[in-house]
Amino acid sequence: MSKAFTVIFDTSMLMSCFEKPVDVIGRVEELLEAKINPAILRSQLAELEGLAKSTRSKASRIARAVLELVEEKFAIIDDPGGKPVDDLIVEEASQRGFMVATNDVELRRRLRRLGVAVVYLRRDGKLEVEGLQP
């Protein structure tokens, strides 16, 4: 394990990891055979905090668990805000050379067009990476 990658995890990827408990950081590191620096945008943090306060019990419970994980292990990236979170993720990842972990098909397509490496969860539950240049 030589190179460390910064990986922005989108909210849906983090939420899905708590629906069926998965050590997503460990699994991404295994997949990439490298240490990762997990990160989220400040705008995502606000999104999660809003979800955690919602009255939908399952979603708010999962959002609280995600917030605890984020607090423990994630870097928070300041972003300009004022745009949809997916747009901010695309901008930050493409400008700064970060990878993105997402299950959002449209977000993956946008990132792929820009040459951003993406980690996603396949239907069989295995993680896969696309667009990673050796």
Q: Give the CATH number of the domain where residue 114 resides.
A: 3.40.50.1010
Residue numbers of the domain that contains 102: 4-130
Give the per-residue pLDDT at 134. Answer: 62
Give the per-residue pLDDT at 1. Answer: 40
Phi, psi of 128 (to 5 degrees): -140, 150
Cα(64)–Cα(60) distance, integer angstroms:
6
Question: Tens place of pLDDT for every residue, the chain, 134 residues?
Answer: 456 799 999 998 998 887 777 788 999 999 999 999 999 999 999 999 998 997 768 889 999 999 999 999 999 999 998 999 999 999 999 999 999 999 999 999 999 999 999 999 888 878 899 988 76
Domains contained in the chain, number: 1
36 Cβ partners below 8 Å, 6+ apart?
4, 5, 6, 7, 25, 28, 29
pTM of the model: 0.91
